[in-house]
């Protein structure tokens, strides 16, 4: 009996610490609020005790705690989540842009693991993996309802090792196995080329730790080769976002002064402003920014800032509409919370949340339409269950928003 009580006290302490991280350990809570929280925690620990005592198989306490925290965070909004130590490490690898794997961008839709696109010149690309392919097995293990991170972990690994993925594709009569040898995947966040003399094209695939540095390097090179630029196309299509500070730095490259973005949250530390400085600003050549429904978060910050300042013409289709900021809170055991802490706003005060950036010129070519399967082109932030409301909007208003016409 004493052992059970000790376990209960340890669990109460652990959950109290975790809950304190989520709510900011507010010292201003009223006594009634504290009492209510402890009553809820008692119900929680009672449930864990019942599971440990009565479940058909022995259950690890940490697995129960992790599962509870996962549900707690995912119940808030689509972008808050709990990351166990392995998942947290994978996230840190992603922001650095280099890892051992296949070179394939994937997503999970309705429990189905689907290829968004293979990354150029990677093992997956060379093996013939195509956008829209459905991955039904990884090394013989079915992917139905597998988590996205579990799938990523199975496909990543040391250079030179092999993994077999089973693909279902409309043009294939039956699923096909692709045995692919892993390599070091160095994801280049910035690619460039000269379209014609004096006119440059720069593609930013995502905002990683060195995106601004890479952008500076390619712009310096193009300006030197062309004796200066007469115009620039900045391609942010299908850019899912990334690091906020990199979006700010990229915007700052083209703005001499003024607000770039500001954030607003519940506590003072979440209210921040980011402004441009004159030093390092590029010449005032014309800029066209390309966007589409896959342009999200950090890429919307850049598009919104350049649009509000009249620095660029935005061309394409309505962007994704992810106008929220996530903060990573590492925990002592190597896990972490990814918590939505604020909304961000463009210089003119527009919230992008569940709205997106409306291009100055709305245009989508047939080639662009084929770049992603229809389901990906149509889904935006407003279509995600539990998304944050547009500030001031009523839930009834958003429920009437058109949903995707089909699921693939």
Distance CA 354, CA 344 (A): 12
**Do 324 and 342 form a contact (C-beta atoms < 8 A)?**
yes
| DSSP letter for each residue of 261-315 | EEEEESSGGG-EEEE--STTPPP---EEEEE-TT--THHHHHHHHHHHTT-SEEE
Q: Which of 137, 249, 322, 355 is catalytic?
A: 322
Say which residue the tokens 């289709």 belong to: 317
DSSP state of 238: T
- Classified as helix, coil or strand, 371 is helix
Q: Which residue blocks in 75-196 are alpha helix, DSSP H?
A: 85-96, 123-127, 148-155
**Would residue 297 show up in a list of annotated catalytic residues for this protein?**
yes
Report the 10 Å Cβ neighbour count for 343: 19
Select which of 137, 308, 351, 382 is catalytic.
308
Largest CA distance in the chain: 81
Structure tokens that stand for 116 in this block: 């968004």
322 is catalytic: yes
* Strand 231-235, strand 287-291: pairing: parallel
* Proportion of the chain in helix, strand, coil states, percent, rounded to 5: 35, 25, 40
Task: For 62, list phi and psi in degrees, rounded to 5.
Answer: -65, -40
| 144 flagged as catalytic | no
Active-site residue, from 117, 293, 297, 351 = 297
Sign of CA dihedral 277, 279, 280, 282: positive
Q: Which residues are catalytic?
A: 297, 308, 322
């Amino acid at each position: 009996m004493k052992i059970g009580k000790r376990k209960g006290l340890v669990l109460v302490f652990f959950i109290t610490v975790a809950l304190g991280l989520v709510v900011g350990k507010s010292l201003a809570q009223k006594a009634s609020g504290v009492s209510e929280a402890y009553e809820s925690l008692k119900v929680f620990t009672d449930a864990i005790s019942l599971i440990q005592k009565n479940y058909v198989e022995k259950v690890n306490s940490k697995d129960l705690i992790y599962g509870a925290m996962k549900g707690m965070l995912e119940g808030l909004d689509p972008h808050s989540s709990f990351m166990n130590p392995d998942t947290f490490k994978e996230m840190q690898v992603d922001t650095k842009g280099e890892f051992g794997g296949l070179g394939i961008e994937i997503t999970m839709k309705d429990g189905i693991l689907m290829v968004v696109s293979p990354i150029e010149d990677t093992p997956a690309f060379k093996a013939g993996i195509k956008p829209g392919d459905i991955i039904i097995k990884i090394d013989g293990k079915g992917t139905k309802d597998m988590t996205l991170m579990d799938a990523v972990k199975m496909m990543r690994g040391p250079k030179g090792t092999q993994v077999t993925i089973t693909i279902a594709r409309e043009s294939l009569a039956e699923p096909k196995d692709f045995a692919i040898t892993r390599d070091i995947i160095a994801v280049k966040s910035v690619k460039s080329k000269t379209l014609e003399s004096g006119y440059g094209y720069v593609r930013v695939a995502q905002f990683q730790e060195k995106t601004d540095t890479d952008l500076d390097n390619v712009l310096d090179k193009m300006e030197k080769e062309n004796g200066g630029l007469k115009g620039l196309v900045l391609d942010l299509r299908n850019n899912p976002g990334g690091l906020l500070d990199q979006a700010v730095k990229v915007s700052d490259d083209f703005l001499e002064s003024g607000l770039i973005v500001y954030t607003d949250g519940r506590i003072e530390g979440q209210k921040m402003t980011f402004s441009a400085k004159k030093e390092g600003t590029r010449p005032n050549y014309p800029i066209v920014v390309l966007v589409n429904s896959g342009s999200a978060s950090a890429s919307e910050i850049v598009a919104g800032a350049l649009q509000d300042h009249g620095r660029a013409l935005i061309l394409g289709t309505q962007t994704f509409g992810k106008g929220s900021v996530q903060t990573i809170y590492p925990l002592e055991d190597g896990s972490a919370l990814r918590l939505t802490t604020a909304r961000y706003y463009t210089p003119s005060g527009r919230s992008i949340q569940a709205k997106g950036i409306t291009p100055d010129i709305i245009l989508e070519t047939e080639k662009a339409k084929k770049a992603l399967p229809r389901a990906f082109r149509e889904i935006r932030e407003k279509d995600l269950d539990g998304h944050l409301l547009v500030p001031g909007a009523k839930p009834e208003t958003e429920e009437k928003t058109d949903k995707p016409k089909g699921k693939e």
